[in-house]
Amino acid sequence: MSLSFDPDRLDLPRGHFIGGRYVPAAGVLPMHRPSDGVEFAACPVASADLVDQAIASAKAALAASGWATCAPRQRTRVLQRWADLMEEEAVRLAQLEAFCSTRPVGQLVAGDIAVTAEQIRFFAEFADKEGSDLVPTGADSLGMIMSEAYGVVGAITPWNVPLSMAGWKLGPALAAGNAVVLKPSELTPYSTLFIAELAVRAGVPAGIVNIVLGDGATTGTAITGHPDIAKVSFTGSTGAGAAIMENIARSGIRPVTLELGGKSPQVVFADADLDLAANAVATSILANAGQACVAGSRLIVEDRVAARVIETVLHRMRTVTAGPTWDEASTYSPIISDRQRGRIDAVVQQAIAAGAECLAGGGAIDHPGYFYAPTLLAGVTQDSTAVREEIFGPVLTVQTFSDEEEAMQLADHPVYGLAAGLFTRDLSRAMRLTRRLQAGTVWVNRYSRSRDHILPTGGYKRSGIGKDLGREAYLANRKTKSVLINL
């Protein structure tokens, strides 16, 4: 069956999702389809009052449903059913995400949805396996570390992989026994609304998952500053992360997980499998047109093999298949908005004006919508804007080195430390340099996540605080109480 579809014939969920049902709301923020620029709807903006109602609904549901206190295996079963429903409804889910985001429908079904369902199952299994501990204390006492759900978690997600990001937040928070009020990006809310609907269908009590739509300034701020939000979990830009920390500090201190921006290096040594390395580098900057937090946007390659690696990357860049996200044959994504495409182009033009050599791309693709050509910039230095700033587009810079020390100097970034790639056949070097790289994830001879959801993800430096995925993400959604009993 073909996954291609007509974006004009989609029936969209309307309004917020609070207390287990859709709450209709007037649209405020104009929404455009990135694939053809058509304005198709407007996103509502939940006021502080509506956010308050959603949080009250979550609190009431926690009190009435026993979600946090039921036999934990009950949560496991319900969440597994939820994952099954995501797979059963994969086509509608993919359509709801594809038509207004940058994710091609084919990649959604084979990738994002399958992976998200599996991650939900992964987290569901923690519910009855991670718990309180008895700890060694003196013989006249009993020491315990008691683990409990937080209560209502406030979550905020970005537009670049909307469903995956919602899964990263909802999976561990729900398995750990919390209720959630989640605000998806105002550009891509529909797949998140639909999985909330599926959660209720799977048996998650109404009110445990609430989705409020809106922007950061009004709705996001109301969530992160609300006194009844017990924990905040955010994925987005470093700037918004800083604003959220400030709001939390002002409105009442509580724990926060921040998954923020990156400017990740991919370091290729001459002894690497050069085809493998060049293809991994290309795939990483072409996937989602570079709109990925872990995009390996800085190629740092040993000078004597630079020409060969660059040739392969250029070939991959010149042979992408740009097309609308609703066409199954499309593999190269548009940029999320005209504004973001303008931002990308401004950095590229500034780099060229400052002396960078543009080896590929350097402008929009002649196609309806917001496509930008894969771009390769050589002749850049550590202080070029194109090397320093997260561009969040299909722009790769290339720098060369002659020895390990120089490679590590170039790889280090003053602000970001989300991920790094190392390509070498020398195991000692791989281990030595893995220790030196200041990044929350290091991939060696690959540049992508696997389906090993046990590996946490998160940033060093200003790329974030705390982890998503892995056992860490589950534990971050539980608080602990130390108990000491005199016997």
Residues carrying an active site annotation: 259, 293
Q: Are 60 and 208 in contact (CB under 8 A)?
A: no
Residue type, position 382, single letter: Q
Residue 166, φ and ψ in degrees, nearest 5: -65, -40
Q: How far is the CB of 28 from ligand NAD (least distance, A)?
A: 13
The residue type of 11 is D
Distance CA 88, CA 98 (A): 17
Residue 124: what are its φ and ψ, rounded to 5°? -55, -35
Segment interacting with ligand NAD (CB under 6 A) among 41-49, 59-67, 157-165, 365-373: 157-165
- Are 214 and 45 in contact by the 8 Å Cβ rule? The answer is yes
Instruction: Name the segment binding ligand NAD (CB under 6 A); options: 172-180, 229-237, 305-313, 471-479.
Output: 229-237
Is 33 in contact with 99 (CB distance < 8 Å)?
A: yes
Which stretch, 61-69, 213-221, 398-406, 425-433, contacts ligand NAD (CB under 6 A)? 213-221
Burial class for 24, CB neighbours closer than 10 Å (0-12, 13-18, 19+): exposed
Spatial separation of the C-alpha atoms in residues 174 and 233, rounded to whole Å: 13
CB of residue 225 to ligand NAD, shortest distance in Å:
9
Residue 185 vs 477, nearer CB to ligand NAD: 185
Q: How far is the CB of 296 from ligand NAD (least distance, A)?
A: 13
Whether 195 and 163 have beta carbons less than 8 Å apart is answered as yes
Among 128, 215, 404, 406, binds ligand NAD (CB under 6 A): 215
**Residue 59 structure tokens:** 């609190």
Closer to ligand NAD by CB, 300 or 336: give it. 336
Q: Taking CB under 6 A as the criterion, which residues in 230-249 touch ligand NAD?
A: 235-237, 240, 243-244
3-state SS, 4-71, equals CCCHHHCCCCCCEEECCEEECCCCCEEEECCCCCCEEEEECCCCHHHHHHHHHHHHHHHHHHCCCCCC
Residue of the chain from 90, 156, 256, 282 that contacts ligand NAD (CB under 6 A): 156
Sites for ligand NAD among residues 251-270 (CB under 6 A): 259-262
Q: Binding to ligand NAD by residue 186, rule CB under 6 A?
A: yes
Find, among 397, 285, 280, 394, the residue nearest to 336 by Cα.
394
| Minimum distance from residue 231 beta carbon to ligand NAD (Å) | 15
Q: What minimum distance in Å lies between the beta carbon of 460 and ligand NAD? A: 11
Candidate segments 61-69, 172-180, 182-190, 322-330, binder of ligand NAD by CB under 6 A: 182-190
Among 170, 418, 430, 473, binds ligand NAD (CB under 6 A): 418
39-43 vs 133-135, strand pairing mode: unpaired
**Binder to ligand NAD among 172, 464, 466, 470 (CB under 6 A)?**
464
Size of the site for ligand NAD (CB under 6 A): 29
Residue 392 binds ligand NAD, judged by CB under 6 A: yes
Q: Which is nearer to ligand NAD, 467 or 478 (CB)?
A: 467
**Residues of the shown chain interacting with ligand NAD in the complex, contacts defined by CB under 6 A:** 156-160, 183, 185-186, 215-216, 220-221, 224, 235-237, 240, 243-244, 259-262, 293, 390, 392, 418, 459, 464
